[in-house]
Amino acid sequence: MKVIRISGTALILFSSAFAVAEESGGHDMDRHMTTMSATHEHHGNAVPVTYEELTRTAQQLEAARRATAKYRNVGIAEADGYHAIGPDVPGMGIHYVQTHSVHGFDVKRPDILLYEKDAAVPGGYSLVGVSYLLSAEADTDGQPKNPPFPKSLAPWHRHADLCLFRDGGVKSDVSDAQCKAEGGRFTALTQWMVHAWIWKDSPTGVFSPTNPDVR
């Protein structure tokens, strides 16, 4: 999410523009406002999100943090049915997937916990984020219809042609026949997925697909 910061200098210039306009009359004020508006239009695209959406999303993420605080100990996560699947990937860490049945989206019960190796914490893994799965039709914008987080804040994605193995390994870009030949379970297209870096800030945003600070 982009944050616009206005410097003290900009505020002084802003105030000065109004002062000059008021001294010169209403027409000059209109001209100044038009000029300022045109200038602002070239400073990047604003994120189309409402105050209510921002507030609700912040509340959802705070609820997720409270609910997953116990999983900072990876042993508790494993006891609750989360198990490592796939490799340790820089920028994403290790995915601990909930193997128990979960019905529908619940911000307090993420489908996946994201960890990175950390010898300084119990179990050797540090919780860095969570991930949610969503079953929904694709909208015309290539995103799911009616997602629980605003589309302008949270970009959802899916994976195609995956092969999952009993030992937790995963291969991508394989055919159904290739996967079965290797004893794996083929998935043509996964559910929608979104990451939320609520335990380790991402310099590219809380909902960014990857976190460059995760090693």
What is the pTM (predicted TM-score) of this model? 0.71
What is the three-class DSSP state of 60? Answer: helix
The predicted-structure confidence for 160-182, as pLDDT tens digits, reads as follows 777 878 776 778 778 888 898 88
Select from 140, 154, 165, 152 the least CA-distant residue to 193: 154
Model pLDDT for residues 113-145, shown as the tens digit of each residue: 999 999 999 899 999 999 999 999 999 999 999
Strands ordered across the beta sheet of 160-164: 170-172, 160-164, 185-189
Q: What is the pLDDT of residue 164?
A: 77
Within a 10 A sphere around the Cβ of 4, how many other Cβ atoms? 9
d(CA 150, CA 2): 14
**Residue of 188, 194, 164 whose CA lies nearest to 176:** 188
